[in-house]
Amino acid sequence: MSQETKNSESLSILRQRALEKLQQDTELDLRRPLGDTQKLLHELRTYQIELEMQNEDLRRTQAELAESLDRYSDLFDFAPVGFVTTSDKGLIQEVNFTLAHMLGVATTAMMGHPLSDFVDPDSQDILYQHFRRFPSVKKNQKCCLRFTRSGAPPLDVELDTAPSPRTGTGSYQLRTAVSDIADRVLANAERESLERQIQQAQKLESLGVMAGGIAHDFNNLLTAILGNASLALESLPAESPERSNLEEIFSTAESAGELVHQMLAFAGHAQISQEPIDTDSFILGIAKLLNVSISKKANLDLELGKDAPPFSGNPSQVRQVIMNLVINASESLGDKPGDITLSTGSAHFNGTRFDGDQECSRLFPDEKRPMGRYTFFEVNDSGAGMDSTIMDKVFDPFFSTKFAGRGLGLSAVLGIVRANGGAISLTSTPGDGTTFRVYFPALAFPDQKSEKKGAASTPGTAWRGSGRILLVDDQAAVLNAGRQMLGRLGFDILTATDGREALTVFEKHRDELVCVLLDLTMPNMDGSEAFLKMNELAPDVPVVVCSGYAENDIAQQFADTQPTAFLEKPFSLKDLTRILSGILAG
């Protein structure tokens, strides 16, 4: 029954009692004079009219109150945010339709239940700490947590709670506004992802600067070593016992040059030759090397997928990736026996994640990549595992959980994978092992062949030239080795130690020169400026630029006019022969 109906019945009863009273008073007052009776009737009618007017005002007020209550109920139920009122015991006393809709339940299903029944388990402590501030705190308090939802993922919300005054019994209520902040959380996650990408880019940039400095100085030293070793090997007869020592020096210097090249590749300053790699055959080819590289207490199992498609990569780099991951897995076992599993296969990337990756897996680098089919190598160990803090830093340069760090370590792995358009999936739990899965884009045409630059036309060192060559380098060791190698090839040599001195010699002897070997990084005047001036003076004289950087990077330093050829440091007598014979043979 509505409040308006109740009020109407009450007024009717009041009117009936008034009439009965009037009738009794009229019978008693019949003995009174007529004039007094008429006065009394007049007053009664007046009172009656006043009472009816008051009743009318009361009915109008009641109607307005009922209308206001309806409006409040609509505003409460359909507000853009959720509202909930809880008792001092945390029980829901009032809840609007908006909040119930957000959680996917009916309002009746929430009434009388603890609000904590609808909060995600990971957020229970947040809710407890939020409510325990009251009633000692008089101002609004906010917190962020997650609600569970019926048939849907948890919902990120913000609670804004205000306490109500205590009642006479000492109890109080908490009135809470609930805002959906899922979009805000998503935006923050995207912003944090972008910040991580920027930080990683800054790290790579810093490492690139460092690698460039190392490459320049180290490659100059290696050029001197390779040059002198190759000269010595050319001088020794095949049966000489000293050849093995020199060959070891030569091989080690070449490996050192490859190490510098890998550093430059990681920093994005080198171009690596690639070729199709048959996945399973490649693993079988390095299996022995892997077994001798791990702890004797570690058991390495191979689980080859047989359906893993070929991919394009540099064999040396791919070997480095797998070696690093397997050795890392071995070290995670510590002194205890354990298992390492190396498996292969293929997976499809749908734009968000790879098939087979777990929900808790983290994907590196955090950037976009093409959808499609990828080949993967997976290294799983039964070691100590990693927590989230270590997982966030595991690919940082020089980061290590071991007493003795491994330098670039896993950061080099990530750099190689990124350069090849791949990705690394990392899954780990403390005490439950770690899984690295490395993805490379599968070849669309597995039978495609790669061309190795210069491989088919590499001449032997029997070739000899003639004429005068200008050799320019700021390092005495490089000048000395270069002079001897050029002399061995039959050339007359002029030298200079910087660009300015080189220009002076070039102007004086340009009609005699058959070629210029020009270092790129020098004091006073660098190689690029010296080359442009030489080209203006005598464009017909071939100029070979020498540098420890990749040819593509060097080419960007020259505008419309490019050098005749590029010779990458460190170089040997054989490399020098290949370049000069190609230029001067005709």
pLDDT of res. 17: 60
d(CA 430, CA 25) in angstroms, rounded, equals 96
The region of weakest confidence among 160-164, 244-248, 267-271, 519-523 is 267-271
Where residue 543 falls (left for φ over 0; alpha for ψ -120 to 50; beta otherwise) is beta
What global pTM score does this model have? 0.49
Greater pLDDT, 212 or 524: 524
pLDDT tens digits, 286-320: 888 888 888 888 999 999 877 789 999 888 889 88
Q: Is the pLDDT of residue 206 over 80?
A: no
The region of weakest confidence among 146-155, 394-403, 554-563 is 394-403
Residue in 140, 143, 138 with CA at minimum distance from that of residue 166: 138
Q: Is the pLDDT of residue 447 over 60?
A: no
With tokens 């207490």, the residue in question is: 297
Tokens in use for 246? 């020199």
Q: Is the pLDDT of residue 72 over 80?
A: no
pLDDT of res. 453: 36
Q: Could you write out the DSSP letters of every residue in 197-214? A: HHHHHHHHHHHHHHHHHH
pLDDT of res. 16: 60
By three-state DSSP, how is residue 240 classified? coil
pLDDT tens digits, 352-408: 888 877 766 788 887 778 888 999 999 999 988 888 888 877 877 656 655 333 445
Sequence-ordered list of residues with C-beta below 8 angstroms from that of 221, at least 6 positions apart, any chain:
477
Average pLDDT, the chain: 82
Q: Are 179 and 156 in contact, with CB atoms under 8 Å apart?
A: no
Q: Is the pLDDT of residue 37 over 80?
A: no
Tokens in use for 455? 């491989």
Sequence-ordered list of residues with C-beta below 8 angstroms from that of 523, at least 6 positions apart, any chain:
474, 498
**pLDDT-derived band of residue 230, with 50, 70 and 90 as boundaries?**
confident
Mean pLDDT for 54-83 is 77
The region of weakest confidence among 33-47, 95-109, 319-333 is 33-47
Q: Is the pLDDT of residue 556 over 80?
A: no
Q: Is the pLDDT of residue 509 over 70?
A: yes
**pLDDT-derived band of residue 70, with 50, 70 and 90 as boundaries?**
low
pLDDT of res. 157: 96
CA 388 to chain centre: 14
With tokens 């230029």, the residue in question is: 583
Percent of the chain scoring above 90 in pLDDT: 38
pLDDT of res. 448: 41
pLDDT of res. 332: 86
Q: Are 371 and 349 in contact, with CB atoms under 8 Å apart?
A: yes
Q: Could you write out the DSSP letters of every residue in 458-482? A: PPPTT----SEEEEE-S-HHHHHHH
The region of weakest confidence among 100-104, 140-144, 207-211, 349-353 is 207-211
With tokens 């791949």, the residue in question is: 422
Residue in 400, 414, 312 with CA at minimum distance from that of residue 363: 414
Q: Could you write out the DSSP letters of every residue in 132-162? A: TTTTT--S-EEEEEEEEETTEEEEEEEEEEE
Q: At what angle do helices 279-293 and 315-332 cross, to 10 degrees?
A: 40
Give CB contacts under 8 A, 24+ apart, made by 534-538: 534/502, 534/503, 534/506, 534/510, 535/561, 537/506, 537/507, 537/510, 538/506, 538/510, 538/511, 538/513
Q: Is the pLDDT of residue 268 over 70?
A: no
**pLDDT-derived band of residue 25, with 50, 70 and 90 as boundaries?**
low
d(CA 495, CA 475) in angstroms, rounded, equals 11
Q: Is the pLDDT of residue 201 over 80?
A: no
Sequence-ordered list of residues with C-beta below 8 angstroms from that of 518, at least 6 positions apart, any chain:
470, 472, 502, 527, 530, 531, 534, 543, 544, 545, 546, 563
Percent of the chain scoring above 70 in pLDDT: 81
For the chain, what is the largest distance between any 2 Cα atoms, rounded to a whole number of angstroms?
A: 162
